[in-house]
Amino acid sequence: MAKLACEFIGIKSINPFWLASAPPTDKAYNVVRAFEAGWGGVVWKTLGEDPGAINVSSRYGVHYGQNRQVIGFNNIELITDRPLQTNLDEITQVKKDWPDRVIIVSLMVPCEEEPWKLILHRVEATGADGIELNFGCPHGMPERGMGAAVGQVPEYIEKVTRWCKQYSSLPVIVKLTPNITDIRAPAEAAIRGGADAVSLINTINSITSVDLDTMSPEPSVGGKSTHGGYCGPAVKPIALNMVSEIARHPASANIPISGIGGISNWRDAAEFISLGAMNVQVCTAAMLFGFKIIKEMCSGLSDWMDKKGYLNINDFCGAAIKNTNDWKYLNMNYKRVALINQDHCIQCGRCYAACEDTSHQSIAITEKAGAREYTIIEEECVGCNLCQITCPEPEAISMIDIDTGKPHLNWTHDPRNPLREKQ
């Protein structure tokens, strides 16, 4: 049977699932419940200098799908609002009681050497397994020169990371903000500063909705609001891309990655790991469904690994990186077309409307014995996938590889490319 137990920068964990630094890891009570449910580790809700942060009332906004399923979720909360010593005492106690579980302490203090030095000593005394530097909170704290404001300036990241390595013996994970154009720059800065790992992504600047009666964005604080940090299923594609960017960039390819962002089930987790994350962190899914979802994540991942013959996480970690490339290296001679399986087609015509109105007019309608039949006009089909995407029936449209008999040819050598590399 597949083994979920794994090691991340020398820290042993019973499974690759940690709770990300956020309300689920705010205090001992939650963390103990999480450990009881089976979570491998937690990144404790970000600690800062006393006095604790002050939060407003009304804190979360939501982006719903049509059936109230949460597509995305945002918050305007700050770092912990509890006294530093209370948090440290609780961390010490929980770590003592749960020696086989991971506790990472997330930190955010002003960008000066002294405050970092002070807090690092106190954290080390708790027996925690490591620290995570929160450079990512996109609201509130940046206004005090902390969080994303630091995360957006690579030199600051490098400087703070270096202090941490200097004043603490604990492994250092640098948590990256996605509110930046090229995620590789802060990752490289963390490496220069001596980071043991990076974790990403933190939340994305966002406004989830506007109440059209009051004209206030959500979450509304007495009729006014501010941008918040976006997370949940909607951010997964963005996070996956950023993880892969770091994993396949030569200068950062060796840094261990803890993947975060929209992980809601075992499959999401497996995708992050396949793109180079060595473990994953989860926040929104736990906030929406409770800690018990860890059971689905563990059983799903382990069953899938069994089916695939992977014995441990390392067996497939990064397995998709080699298949992630720049556009110019894709095979220009590859061809696929859609095929409609009439046994599964329910004749809704969605593929037709999509293709006819917005794509390549490659679907034909024929009337057959009073019923309609939708078929692909293969010569017109460019294999864009739109029909398959819009089709409500999972088995009705498949995309078929066509053997063109032509060799692999990428754009850098394509004769149609005026700037091609001459061989």
- Which residues would be at the binding site for ligand FMN (CB under 6 A)? 20-23, 45-46, 75, 77, 79, 106, 134, 136-137, 175, 202-203, 229, 231-232, 235, 260-263, 282-285
Cβ-based nearer residue to another protein, 366 or 423: 366
Of residues 347 and 417, the one with the C-beta less far from ligand SF4: 347
Least Å distance, CB 172 to another protein, is 46
CA dihedral 29, 35, 41, 42 (to 10 degrees): -20
66 binds, among another protein, ligand FMN, ligand SF4, none (CB under 5 to 8 A by kind): another protein
Closer by beta carbon to ligand SF4, 227 or else 350: 350
Q: Are strands 102-107 and 130-134 parallel, antiparallel or unpaired?
A: parallel
Q: Verify binding: residue 368, another protein, rule CB under 8 A.
A: no
- Tokens for 389? 């995407």
Catalytic residue among 6, 111, 137, 317: 137
Burial of 358 (0-12, 13-18, 19+ CB in 10 A): exposed
Give me the 46-85 binding string for another protein, x by CB under 8 A, dash otherwise: --------------------xxx-----------------
Q: How far is the CB of 69 from ligand SF4 (least distance, A)?
A: 22
CB of 347 to another protein, least distance (A): 6
- Contact partner at residue 340 from ligand SF4, another protein, ligand FMN, none, CB < 5 to 8 Å by partner kind: ligand SF4
3-state class percentages of the chain: helix first, strand second, coil last, to nearest 5: 35, 20, 45
State yes or no: residue 344 binds another protein (CB under 8 A). yes
Alpha carbons 235 and 339: distance in angstroms, whole number: 31
In the complex, the smallest distance separating the C-beta of residue 320 from ligand FMN, rounded to whole angstroms, is: 20
Give the CA distances from residue 54 to residues 20, 57, 73, 118, in Å, rounded to whole numbers and listed in that order.
21, 10, 21, 22
Smallest distance, ligand SF4 to C-beta of residue 403, A: 24
**Catalytic residue check, 317:** no
Residues lying near ligand SF4 in the complex (CB under 6 A) are found at 340, 345-351, 374, 391, 393, 396-397
Site for another protein in 372-401 (CB under 8 A): 392-393
Q: Which is nearer to another protein, 57 or 66 (CB)?
A: 66
> 90 φ, ψ to 5°?
-65, -40
**Helix, coil or strand: residue 368:** strand
Return left, alpha or beta for 178; rule: phi > 0 is left, psi -120 to 50 is alpha, else beta.
Answer: alpha
| Nearest Cα residue to 165 out of 125, 134, 120 | 120
Does residue 350 interact with another protein by CB under 8 A?
Answer: yes
Interacting residue with another protein among 253, 346, 382, 402 (CB under 8 A) = 346
Angle between helices 84-97 and 113-124 (to 10 degrees): 30
Q: How far is CA 250 from CA 245, 246, 247, in A?
A: 10, 8, 8
Residue 257, SS3 per DSSP: strand
- Interacting residues toward another protein by CB under 8 A: 66-68, 344, 346-350, 352-353, 392-393
Catalytic residue annotation: 137
